[in-house]
């Protein structure tokens, strides 16, 4: 059954935040793919500064913290997620180097050319891939890197059902070659792209039935909570059916303009 609402943007933000607040990740990914993307970044030292934009509860922020000696600032709109990141940093005794701040990716709290690396997993879609690449570039030093994941078509053509769903949910969804061209046009040297493995999605979705059960208990009788879960289930069912047509891709670029 199709859900009543057709895009995630139609739901109350508090509902979405609450749903994802008890998970380690708010999007598909894994420590392994974070490290794989990190392996393409050259020249990081203890003096380097990394921003993790739309960091959520900070799963990948901590991987960056454990595997570099840089200063890392996670930025997210949601204060609850930022508190969780700061607790993780404290628990791992990385609080001097890894910090979360509440902030908006549309108005980032950085100086021009302050950053050596901008990271963003499963989050740039909130501002849009092209706009994010263009607006964030000024915060990078010349030669600094950007590494983001973005929902991407794997094929030139897709079945109508999945085309319709993602076209509505995220009109900027496009093929790898078109995304790479956008990156180049935005002033970056495209350094690498790789597909985020299907397992990251299946792991991400596998935790959800349990989350949905407790969420529905907590919000018993709340119509918009019910509709939100119906939407999540529909997205999951579509993934199972059409996963060969789309998925996340890591895009890594180097500022050259």
Smallest separation (angstroms) from ligand SAH to the CB of 59: 5
Residue nearest to ligand SAH according to CB distances in the complex: 56
Q: Report the residue number, 100 or 253, with the smaller CB distance to ligand SAH.
A: 100
Give helix then strand counts, H and E, for the chain: 10, 8
H or E, element range at 178: helix 176-185
Smallest separation (angstroms) from ligand SAH to the CB of 161: 25
Residue 56 corresponds to which tokens in the numbers above?
């959520």
Smallest separation (angstroms) from ligand SAH to the CB of 142: 25
Residues 6 or more apart in contact with residue 160 via CB below 8 angstroms: none
Does 232 participate in binding ligand SAH (rule CB under 6 A)?
no
**CA separation for the pair 94, 65 (Å, rounded):** 7
Smallest separation (angstroms) from ligand SAH to the CB of 255: 21
Does 27 participate in binding ligand SAH (rule CB under 6 A)?
yes
Does 122 participate in binding ligand SAH (rule CB under 6 A)?
yes
Question: 3-state DSSP helix/strand/coil percent for the chain, to nearest 5?
Answer: 45, 25, 35
**CA separation for the pair 242, 20 (Å, rounded):** 24
Out of 71, 76, 116, 174, the only residue in the binding site for ligand SAH (CB under 6 A) is 76
Q: Are 100 and 76 in contact (CB under 8 A)?
A: yes
Q: Which residue do the tokens 């579509």 mark?
A: 238
- Eight-class DSSP state of 197: P
Binding mask 126-145 for ligand SAH (x = CB under 6 A): x-------------------
Smallest separation (angstroms) from ligand SAH to the CB of 76: 5
Binding site for ligand SAH (CB under 6 A): 25-27, 29, 54-56, 59-60, 75-78, 81, 104-106, 121-123, 126
């Amino acid at each position: 059954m199709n859900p009543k609402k057709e895009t995630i943007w139609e739901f109350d933000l508090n509902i979405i935040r609450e749903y994802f607040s008890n998970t380690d990740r708010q999007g598909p990914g894994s420590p392994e793919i974070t490290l794989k993307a990190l392996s393409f970044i050259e020249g990081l030292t203890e003096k380097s500064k990394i921003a993790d934009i739309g960091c959520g509860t900070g799963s990948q922020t901590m991987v960056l913290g454990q595997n570099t000696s840089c200063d890392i600032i996670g930025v997210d709109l949601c204060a609850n997620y930022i508190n969780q990141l700061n607790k993780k940093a404290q628990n791992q005794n990385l609080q001097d180097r890894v910090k979360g701040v509440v902030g908006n990716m549309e108005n980032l709290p950085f100086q021009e050319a302050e950053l050596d690396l901008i990271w963003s997993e499963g989050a740039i879609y909130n501002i849009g891939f092209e706009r994010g690449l263009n607006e964030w570039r000024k915060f990078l030093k010349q030669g600094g890197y950007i590494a983001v994941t973005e929902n991407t078509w794997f094929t030139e053509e897709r079945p109508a059902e999945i085309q319709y769903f993602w076209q509505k949910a995220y009109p900027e969804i496009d093929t790898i070659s078109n995304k790479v061209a956008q990156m180049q046009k935005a002033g970056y040297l495209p350094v690498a792209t790789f597909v985020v493995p299907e397992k990251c999605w299946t792991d991400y979705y596998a935790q959800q039935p349990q989350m949905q059960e407790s969420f529905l208990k907590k919000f018993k009788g709340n119509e918009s909570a019910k509709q939100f879960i119906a939407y999540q289930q529909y997205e999951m069912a579509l993934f199972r059916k059409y996963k060969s047509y789309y998925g996340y891709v890591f895009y890594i670029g180097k500022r050259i303009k």
